[in-house]
Structure formats: C-alpha cells, structure tokens
C-alpha cells in the first residue's frame, strides 16, 4: 500500500467517528499579505500568505513548469504564462505580492512589472538574498514594479520588499527591530511611501486605503502569538480558515456567525468593502515552508481558487509531475469555476457584498473536507522529515486530495442548483391590453 493511502484512510475514519459522535452528542485591487517567520508559528516553519484581489481577471489556475534554472509552481491568470501572482520553486523559494500604487514613479515604464518580476524570481532565485540582488540589478536595467513582495526561503529567510520602478527597501522579518513579533503584514500601501515605520501601529494607518485590512490581519496574527488571546497557535490551517475567510466590518469587529465572529446568525447581507475576504477576491494561497535542513520540495502551496468564502484549499507541490483538473486549466481550474459561480449567485445587487443565506451550508459541507485534507498533508509532512517524498508520491497525493476537494465543490454546486429550483416561480408580467379599434372603423 502506498504510504499516503494509509494516512488518507486513517483521516477519513477519524472524521467519520467524529461525525457519529456529533450526531450522538467599492471594488479595486485589494490584496492582503503576510510574511510570518518560524519563530512566530506553532511548528517553527515559516508561512507566506496572500489573498489576491482583482476586478478584471477572475479566473485563476495553478501551473507547474520547468523555468530558466528551477522548476516552478505558481498561481496565474487562467491561460496566461507570462506573469505569476504567487508561487514556489524547487529550492523552496516562495514569493507573493500586493499592489502598492503609492510607489509609482511617473514616466517609468520599462522592464518587468509585478507579475513578471515574480516569475523571473521563481525561475532564478534560491534565497531572500538572491531576490534582493535581482532588485538591485533591475534598479539599473529598469522595471515597472509597484508592489510589496513577500519572500521566504528554505534556509529560514523571510523578508518583505517594497519595490518601486527604480528603488526598493528590504524589511527582514527575522530582525526584531523591524518585526518585533516575527511577522510583517502588508495590504495596498508602502511604508516607505507613507514615511511610517516598517510595522506601523494600526492607528498610524487609519484613513489610509486598505488600512482597515492591514489592521485586521495584524490583529488576527497577534491573537495567535504566545502572548495573544489564543496563544501559540499560529498554524497553516488557522491562516487558511480564519484569515483567508475573515469577515469583519471597517472597525475590525467580525460579523456574528462568521468564522471569527461570535455564535449567531450572519446578517442577511455582508458588505465586503472593508473585509479581507471580498467580492473581488479571486484566489488565496498559504505557503507552508520548511525548517533549515528539511527537503525544500516538501514546501506546500495550499491554494484556494476563487473566492475563499465559496472555495476549498488544495495542496500542491512543485515536485508534482502534473496537476489535477481541479486546479489546472486554461479557462481556470474546475474549483475556481465552481467557486466563481457560487459567489455570482450570492452577490448583492450592487456587487459590493454577498447575500449570506447559503454561506453557512457551504461552510458546513466544505470545511470538514478541507480539515481532512490538511490532516493528511500534515501527517505526510511528518513522514517526509525522515523519508523524502518522490515526484510520483507528491503527484498521486495531490491528485487524490484534489479529487476529494473537487467532489465536495461539485456537490455544493448541485445543492445550490437544487435549492434554486425550489424557489417560487415569479408571476408572469402583466401587460396593458392593446387598444382595439371599434368594429367598422376605417
């Protein structure tokens, strides 16, 4: 029996047992990101997170290919291979970004932009230092970047770079003077452009576009640090569940009934203009890195294609020989298509929020499946610490778990279609009778 099959079987049996016990007992680009060092996480491994927002290119897919120097696994706009928007390479180097227009320099239009520089980095960089040198080189040759770039590597490196077209600033997340708690959050502003510290107090950015998302992400991380309210529980599953899907108002108060809110019923509608999980969110990824000395190929990219509120996380590895249809396809991975459809059916009329009637059922159905996938992968990661996985093993595990994820999403789509068919048919329109001429009229 293949090693991962026994892990899958054990996880499914545990989930079934748990089920029995339970029975008995204003749109604009708006990415939110974080670089989290191993000293802040529960298992000592770094995490890199991005919730990607865009208004014009809602379909995303995952690709794996041989780059200039290294093999690359990345999230791209469906059918587009010229740019990547987050990814990892075969050395364990991971990168993501958020748009920061305040770094723009008028007239600078030569060289790679945000997506192209990340593709180049994934194909050529091994460490955080390599990326710093790449930015130094392109300071001279030219680039069109206006973004905050989060980077982690297999040697323990973790940093945030604010990079405009001709200059950049590096912030080392391992430096306690820069990141006192071992993490750096960014939304859609650059601290160098605003003249504020690299990890500004949330009150400093009040009134800044995306400031509320920055403050909310910081609060969610702080709550899980050793001295936070929850304490020493900053894990990959927490970021996937509670950060990617956070629904809080502009003051940072989570809505009742949401993942981080108090128990109760969701409001009928949630305006997402200030939330991390928005109506413009098209994908999210959490990179679970490695400790120094571990096999970098075990770095896991957990990807939620489509709006995370309506989607499910799938594990992917750069060592995979091929990817499942659940995440790959020139018109977007199958999960992305389903998640986009589910959200479309639940948008408010102004498209700035979501109607919440179906959200609790989506979460009740999809999240237990996601929990099982996470449990399987974490167990395999423990095995890979002593016995590195093979490309075939990574591929088979990815495909098996991606199929489970896609099946759950297809069931959700069918359920929502069935629910729509039960709605009463609207009455036929009433027309004013046509004017009839009296008989015999000329």
For position 426, what pLDDT does the model report? 66
Q: Is 414 inside a domain boundary?
A: yes
For the stretch 271-313, pLDDT in tens is 998 899 999 999 999 999 999 999 999 999 999 999 999 999 9
In a domain, 180, yes or no: yes
Q: Is residue 438 part of a domain?
A: no
Residue 335 forms part of a structural domain: yes
Q: Which residues contact 369 (CB under 8 A, 6 or more apart)?
A: 312, 404, 405, 408
312 contacts 172 by C-beta, under 8 angstroms: no
Domain count within the chain: 1
Pair 178, 202: CB distance under 8 Å: no
Question: Rounded to 5 degrees, what angle do the CA atoms 165, 167, 170 make?
Answer: 120
* Pure H helices in 125-257: 128-141, 191-194, 211-222, 236-238
What is the per-residue pLDDT for 298?
98
Reported residue count of the chain is 442
Q: Are 178 and 193 in contact (CB under 8 A)?
A: no
- Name residue 63's beta-bridge partners: 74
109 pLDDT tier (thresholds 50, 70, 90): confident
Residue 425 lies in a domain: no
* Residue-range definition of the domain harbouring residue 192: 27-420
pLDDT at 26: 36
Is residue 405 a contact partner of residue 370, using CB atoms and an 8 Å limit?
Answer: yes
**Do 297 and 388 touch, CB atoms closer than 8 A?**
yes
Q: How confident is the model at residue 20 (pLDDT cuts 50, 70, 90)?
A: very low
Structural domain includes residue 13: no
Residue 249's CB is within 10 A of a number of other CB atoms, namely: 16
For the chain, how big is the Rg over CA atoms in Å? 23
Residue range 396-429, pLDDT digits in tens: 999 999 999 999 999 999 999 888 777 666 677 7
Taking the C-alpha atoms of residue 328 and residue 201, their distance in angstroms, rounded to an integer, is: 40
Mean per-residue pLDDT for 357-374? Answer: 97
Average pLDDT over residues 220-249: 89
CA dihedral of 393, 286, 84, 107, whole degrees rounded to 10: -160
Contacts of 385 (CB under 8 A, 6+ apart): 294
Residue 207 CB contacts under 8 Å (≥ 6 apart), including other chains: none
Percent of the chain with pLDDT strictly greater than 70: 88
Residue 429 belongs to some domain of the structure? no
pLDDT for residue 250 is more than 80 = yes
199 phi, psi to nearest 5 deg:
-125, 70
Whether the per-residue pLDDT at 395 is higher than 70: the answer is: yes
- Phi/psi zone of residue 134: left (φ > 0), alpha (ψ -120 to 50 degrees), beta? alpha
Is the model more confident about 69 or about 211?
A: 69
The confidence score (pLDDT) of residue 16 equals 36
Does the residue 337 lie in any domain? Answer: yes
Which CATH number covers residue 320?
3.60.60.10
Q: What is the pLDDT of residue 107?
A: 82
Find tokens 């993501």 and name the residue.
96
Banded pLDDT at 11 (limits 50, 70, 90): very low
pLDDT greater than 60 at residue 231: no
- The residue ranking higher by pLDDT, 338 or 18, is 338
- Token pair of 38 as six digits: 């191993």
**Strands lying side by side in the sheet with 147-152:** 60-66, 71-77, 86-89, 94-99, 147-152, 158-163, 168-172
């Amino acid at each position: 029996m293949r090693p991962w099959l026994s892990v899958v079987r054990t996880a499914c049996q545990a989930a079934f047992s748990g089920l029995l016990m339970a029975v008995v007992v204003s749109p604009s680009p708006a990415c939110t990101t974080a670089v989290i060092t191993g000293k802040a996480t529960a298992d000592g491994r770094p995490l890199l997170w991005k919730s990607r927002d865009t208004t014009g290119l809602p379909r995303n897919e995952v690709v794996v290919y041989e780059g200039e120097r290294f093999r690359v696994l990345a999230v791209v706009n469906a059918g587009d291979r010229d740019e990547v928007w987050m990814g990892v390479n075969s050395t364990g180097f991971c990168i993501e970004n958020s748009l920061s227009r305040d770094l723009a320099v008028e007239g600078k239009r030569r060289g790679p932009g945000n997506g192209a520089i990340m593709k180049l980095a994934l194909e050529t960089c091994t460490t955080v230092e390599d990326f710093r040198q790449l930015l130094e080189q392109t300071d001279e040759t030219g680039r069109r970047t206006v973004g905050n770039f989060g980077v982690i590597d297999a040697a323990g490196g973790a940093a945030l770079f604010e990079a405009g077209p001709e200059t950049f600033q590096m912030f080392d997340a391992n430096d306690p003077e820069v990141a006192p708690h071992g993490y750096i959050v960014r939304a859609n502003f650059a601290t160098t452009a605003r003249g504020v510290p690299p990890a500004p107090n949330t009150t400093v950015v009040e009134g800044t576009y995306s400031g509320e998302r920055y403050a909310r992400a910081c609060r969610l991380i702080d709550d899980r640090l050793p001295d936070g309210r929850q304490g020493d529980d900053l894990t990959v599953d927490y970021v996937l569940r509670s950060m990617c899907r956070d629904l809080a108002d502009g003051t940072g108060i989570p809505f009742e009934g949401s993942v981080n809110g108090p128990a109760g019923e969701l409001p009928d509608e949630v305006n997402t203009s200030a939330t991390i999980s928005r109506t413009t969110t098209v994908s999210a990824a959490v990179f679970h890195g490695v400790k120094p000395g571990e096999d970098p190929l075990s770095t896991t990219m957990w990807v939620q294609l489509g709006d995370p509120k309506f989607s499910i996380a799938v594990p992917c590895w750069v060592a995979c020989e091929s990817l499942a249809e659940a995440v790959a396809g020139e018109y977007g991975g199958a999960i992305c298509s389903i998640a986009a459809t589910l959200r479309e059916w639940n948008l408010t009329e102004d498209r700035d929020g979501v109607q919440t009637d179906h959200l609790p059922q989506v979460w009740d159905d999809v999240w237990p499946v996601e929990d099982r996938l996470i449990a399987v992968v974490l167990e395999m990661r423990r095995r890979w610490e002593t016995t590195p996985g093979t490309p075939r093993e990574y591929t088979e595990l990815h495909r098996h778990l991606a199929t489970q994820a896609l099946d759950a999403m297809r069931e959700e789509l069918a359920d929502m279609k069935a629910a729509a068919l039960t709605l009463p048919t609207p009455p036929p329109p009433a027309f004013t009778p046509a004017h009839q001429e009296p008989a015999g009229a000329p």
